[in-house]
């Protein structure tokens, strides 16, 4: 029986580009608007505003000007904004990630998003904007939330490993701010306002037969679905939109499971680069305790959280970009780790080294 060719070389990350949302805003500005919005809620708003100061976030970038969120956005207008802004941000990131000479050679496009709906899916616009190969296999991925960025790269790695001539474009965009329901005066929604931001990223992954310099190689990944945890995170779809669901139990699940999962995938390697999804300060604390990490280990994730907030699936790709661009970057083994709805963990082992041979 004929077997599909599998290259002896691991798939490589050729490029990575990130795109901020168009409207930067400080954490203090958001806190001021949210405090006014939640006036009259059934909890102490003044006391609860401390969550903004303690979130480890100093600024974010949003899809719309801040005032627009508090003017009342119905489902139709939300999705119209989502399609326009998400499409532009993805094309911007992809234009910088895919050199013109490679655009006609893209074989697969994996598009990750859990914060909006687009049919046809968002990569159709990117294909037209950049002149990508019209016969590229399209793979939209929805519902993985914060774990989606790692999962998208892992899917691309598996595709590139099974087809050594593959050139896989990963697109990831989350506009979590557009899901704000101003009529939801719950403490859960209040906390969400202190955390979430918007962003996009694009990455190009090559099979073993594709030549070219690379940022690093992509090794094996792991997925772990935890039993009886579906209620911890996700969307609760209401008539007016999507209500965010995230449980205070989440840091505990991370704390109890991260060490075993990382040890399994590291397989004895000393990890130099911890590419962590910073879901919030409590998640970073859980990683610190479970993995015995130093402040230096946590710095890329913590600084990304401070500059952008929690951008769901996109955040871990911003962390990876920050690591690769750091002036003192040193090549070495890395591990991407994120937790998301399911409740699930996604991990991917990488070997990072700018200019890795092709």
Q: What is the mean pLDDT of residues 168-178?
A: 97
Asked if pLDDT for residue 236 goes beyond 60, the answer is: yes
Q: What tens digit of pLDDT does each residue of 72-107 get?
A: 788 889 999 999 999 999 999 999 999 999 999 999
Cα–Cα distance between 194 and 55 in angstroms, integer? 7
| Band of residue 4 on the pLDDT scale cut at 50, 70, 90 | very low
Predicted local confidence at residue 1, as pLDDT: 31
Degrees (nearest 5) of the Cα angle 255, 307, 316? 50
User: What residues contact residue 165 under an 8 Å CB cut-off, 6+ apart?
Assistant: 107, 207, 209, 210
Q: What is the mean pLDDT of residues 213-230?
A: 94
DSSP bridge partners of 352: 216, 332
Asked if 347 contacts 150 with a C-beta cutoff of 8 angstroms, the reply is yes
Q: What is the mean pLDDT of residues 23-41?
A: 92
Predicted local confidence at residue 41, as pLDDT: 87
Q: What is the mean pLDDT of residues 24-46?
A: 91
Catalytic residue among 113, 146, 172, 193: 146
Q: What is the mean pLDDT of residues 136-147?
A: 96
Q: What is the mean pLDDT of residues 267-275?
A: 93
For residue 187, the Cα-to-chain-centroid distance in whole angstroms is: 24
| Band of residue 354 on the pLDDT scale cut at 50, 70, 90 | low
* Active site (annotated) includes residue 172: no
Predicted local confidence at residue 188, as pLDDT: 87
Asked if 90 contacts 53 with a C-beta cutoff of 8 angstroms, the reply is no
Predicted local confidence at residue 5, as pLDDT: 42
Q: Could you tell me the domains of the chain?
A: 12-206 (3.40.47.10), 214-356 (3.40.47.10)
The pLDDT mean for the chain works out to 92
Count of C-beta atoms within a 10 Å radius of residue 277: 32
DSSP bridge partners of 175: 198
Count of C-beta atoms within a 10 Å radius of residue 5: 12
Q: What tens digit of pLDDT does each residue of 291-317 get?
A: 999 999 999 999 999 999 999 999 999
Cα–Cα distance between 10 and 8 in angstroms, integer? 7
| Band of residue 3 on the pLDDT scale cut at 50, 70, 90 | very low
Query: Which of 7-16, 120-129, 259-268, 309-318 has the least mean pLDDT?
Result: 7-16
Q: Which of 179, 155, 176, 178 is nearest to 166 (CA)?
A: 155
Degrees (nearest 5) of the Cα angle 339, 341, 346? 35
Q: What is the pTM of this model?
A: 0.94
């Amino acid at each position: 029986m004929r077997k599909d060719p599998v290259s002896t070389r691991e798939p490589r990350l050729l490029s990575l580009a990130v795109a901020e949302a168009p409207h930067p805003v400080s954490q203090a500005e958001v806190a001021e608007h949210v405090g006014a919005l939640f006036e009259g809620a059934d909890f102490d708003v003044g006391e609860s505003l401390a969550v903004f100061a303690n979130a480890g976030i100093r600024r974010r970038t949003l899809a719309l000007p801040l005032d627009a969120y508090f003017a009342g956005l119905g489902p139709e207008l939300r999705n119209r904004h989502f399609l326009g802004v998400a499409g532009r941000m993805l094309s911007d990131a992809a234009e910088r990630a895919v050199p013109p000479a490679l655009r006609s050679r893209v074989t697969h496009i994996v598009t990750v998003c859990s914060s909006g709906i687009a049919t046809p899916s968002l990569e159709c616009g990117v294909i037209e904007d950049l002149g990508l190969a019209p016969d590229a296999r399209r793979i939209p991925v929805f519902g993985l939330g914060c774990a989606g960025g790692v999962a998208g790269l892992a899917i691309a790695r598996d595709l590139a490993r099974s087809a050594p001539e593959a050139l896989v474009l990963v697109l990831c965009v989350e506009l979590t701010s557009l899901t704000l329901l101003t009529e939801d005066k719950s403490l859960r929604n209040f906390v969400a306002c202190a955390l979430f931001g918007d962003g996009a990223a694009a990455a190009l992954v090559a099979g073993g037969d594709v030549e070219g310099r690379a940022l690093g190689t992509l090794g094996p990944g792991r997925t772990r679905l935890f039993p009886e945890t579906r209620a911890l995170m996700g969307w609760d779809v209401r008539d007016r939109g999507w209500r965010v669901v995230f449980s205070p139990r989440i840091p505990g699940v991370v704390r109890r499971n991260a060490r075993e999962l990382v040890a399994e995938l590291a397989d004895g390697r000393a990890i130099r680069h911890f590419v962590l999804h910073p879901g919030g300060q409590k998640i970073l604390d859980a990683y610190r305790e479970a993995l015995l990490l130093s402040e230096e280990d946590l710095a890329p994730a913590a600084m990304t959280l401070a500059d952008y907030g929690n951008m769901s699936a996109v955040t871990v790709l911003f962390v990876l970009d920050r690591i690769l661009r750091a002036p003192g970057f040193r090549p070495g083994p890395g591990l991407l780790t994120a937790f998301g709805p399911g409740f699930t963990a996604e991990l991917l082992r990488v070997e990072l080294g700018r200019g890795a041979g092709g």
